[in-house]
Amino acid sequence: MFTPFELGSLRLPNRLAMAPMTRSRSYVDGIPSPLAPLYYAQRASAGLIITEGVQPSLAGQGYINTPGLHTDQQVAGWREVTDTVHAAGGRIFVQLMHAGMVGHPDNTGDIPLAPSAVRPDGVQIFTPSGPQDLPVPREMTIEEVEATVRDFAAAARRAVEAGFDGVELHGANGYLIHQFLSQNVNLRGDRYGGSIDSRIRFAVEVAKAVAEEIGPDRVGIRLSPLNGAQGLVEEDAHELYPALVSALAELDLVYLHLIATGGDELNARLRDLWPNALVINDPAGTDPAGTAAKWLEWGADMVSLGKAFLANPDLPLRLRLGAPLNEPDLSLAFGGDHRGYTDYPALALHPVPQPAAV
């Protein structure tokens, strides 16, 4: 856990990544919160920080008050974040997240775009008036699919301008890239739907375009086989993910961030197929130290932790000392002010006892 790791050109002091977490605290216009530099810099002792999901285009926004990376003002806001994190000794990748069908006109002013005009049953999204069913999205034209690939590349270019050390493509948890992989919400009859080769095409094209834009040693991708998020169905995951990971491996991306939801057999197969760094996130993990140790021993190069980093700005130190952990208050996860964001305390180390004066 505490041995250094070379990730592309970065030297990480430990194997612990802060997992991406949406916090819905950005300003209007998708500019990161003025507290975001402090929030991320407090967590600079992570081997790698991965930011909250950030939309590569206006159409990519799904939830309320999420930040973007498609305007100059957003770049300027993120520049403050990266400068503050670097000054605190940290390293930071931005997660590029296009939410696809997971959006609502009450949040974004528009009908969400998706591979097909279908919605899974019973999936809801939080809006200003409370949880609502996802609306039926609008099917992207082939020109819109191609433009979205270019939007990811443009956002990656802006990420570098903003000072990020790299980008993570969000291919997990039921958002746009994952939607293209699925069988129930991707019903396209063109080259982006149908066979496995066609359903992985969007993910591979995005990864290729972004790698060509900023270099593969600055690009990672997150996947969550079979996690069923947002009602996605993936009956052929045992064939699809090996095909996808093999295609991504040819692009020489710097890391695969795998959410370990595919089961032992698929996890092991993907480890075998992936030559570069593998970051594991285990949503079933309960104790962060035990979870990290278990997966590093299994063969992961790094482990990402979400809620534990949310509540413990100095998590690596606490794990190293076996110190107690703050508990996350998830009622303060999304939206709001500094409470539940920048006010989790670091360890108060006792002053060294001084000998009594003689």
Ligand X SMILES: Cc1cc2nc3c(=O)[nH]c(=O)nc-3n(C[C@H](O)[C@H](O)[C@H](O)COP(=O)(O)O)c2cc1C
CB of 144 closer than 8 Å to CB of 198: no
Choosing from 175, 192, 241, 344, the catalytic residue is 175
Q: Binder to ligand X among 259, 266, 277, 292 (CB under 6 A)?
A: 259
Specify the 3-state DSSP secondary structure of 318: helix
Strand intervals (E) in 55-139 = 92-96, 113-114, 124-127, 130-133, 138-139
- Report the C-alpha gap between 27 and 203 in whole angstroms: 29
222 makes contact with ligand X (CB under 6 A):
yes
- Report the C-alpha gap between 68 and 73 in whole angstroms: 10
CB of 40 closer than 8 Å to CB of 50: no
Binding map of ligand X across residues 28-67, x = CB under 6 A, - = no contact: ------------------------xx--------------
Alpha carbon 139 to chain centroid, angstroms: 24
What does DSSP say about strands 130-133 and 124-127: parallel, antiparallel, or unpaired? antiparallel
Q: Considering only CA atoms, which of 267, 289, 269, 287 is closest in space to residue 279?
A: 267
Minimum distance between the CB of residue 307 and ligand X, rounded to whole angstroms? 4
Minimum distance between the CB of residue 310 and ligand X, rounded to whole angstroms? 7
The nearer residue to ligand X, 37 or 62, going by C-beta atoms, is 62
Write the DSSP assignment of 314-336 as a string of letters.
Answer: THHHHHHHT---PPP-GGGSSSS
Locus of tokens 């407090």: 42
Could you say which residues in the range 85-114 bind ligand X, by CB under 6 A?
95, 97
119 makes contact with ligand X (CB under 6 A):
no
Residue of minimal Cβ distance to ligand X: 306
Minimum distance between the CB of residue 175 and ligand X, rounded to whole angstroms? 8
Q: Binder to ligand X among 1, 10, 13, 21 (CB under 6 A)?
A: 21
For residue 126, give both structure tokens: 């939080």
Angstrom CA distances, 232 to 98, 229, 245, stand at 16, 6, 19
Q: Binder to ligand X among 86, 271, 294, 307 (CB under 6 A)?
A: 307
The nearer residue to ligand X, 23 or 158, going by C-beta atoms, is 23
Could you say which residues in the range 159-178 bind ligand X, by CB under 6 A?
170, 172-173
344 is known as an active-site residue: no
Binding map of ligand X across residues 325-354, x = CB under 6 A, - = no contact: --------x---------------------
Q: Binder to ligand X among 7, 8, 20, 57 (CB under 6 A)?
A: 20
Q: Segment contacting ligand X (CB under 6 A): 19-27, 32-40, 108-116, 240-248?
A: 19-27
Helices (H), 88-236: 105-108, 142-161, 176-181, 196-199, 201-214
240 makes contact with ligand X (CB under 6 A):
no
Q: What is the total count of residues that contact ligand X (CB under 6 A)?
A: 21
Q: Segment contacting ligand X (CB under 6 A): 84-92, 227-235, 301-309, 348-356?
A: 301-309
134 makes contact with ligand X (CB under 6 A):
no
CB of 338 closer than 8 Å to CB of 313: no
22 makes contact with ligand X (CB under 6 A):
yes
- Report the C-alpha gap between 34 and 25 in whole angstroms: 9
- Report the C-alpha gap between 172 and 80 in whole angstroms: 28
Could you list the active site residues? 175
Q: Which residues bind ligand X (CB under 6 A)?
A: 19-22, 52-53, 95, 97, 170, 172-173, 222, 259, 281, 283, 285, 305-308, 333
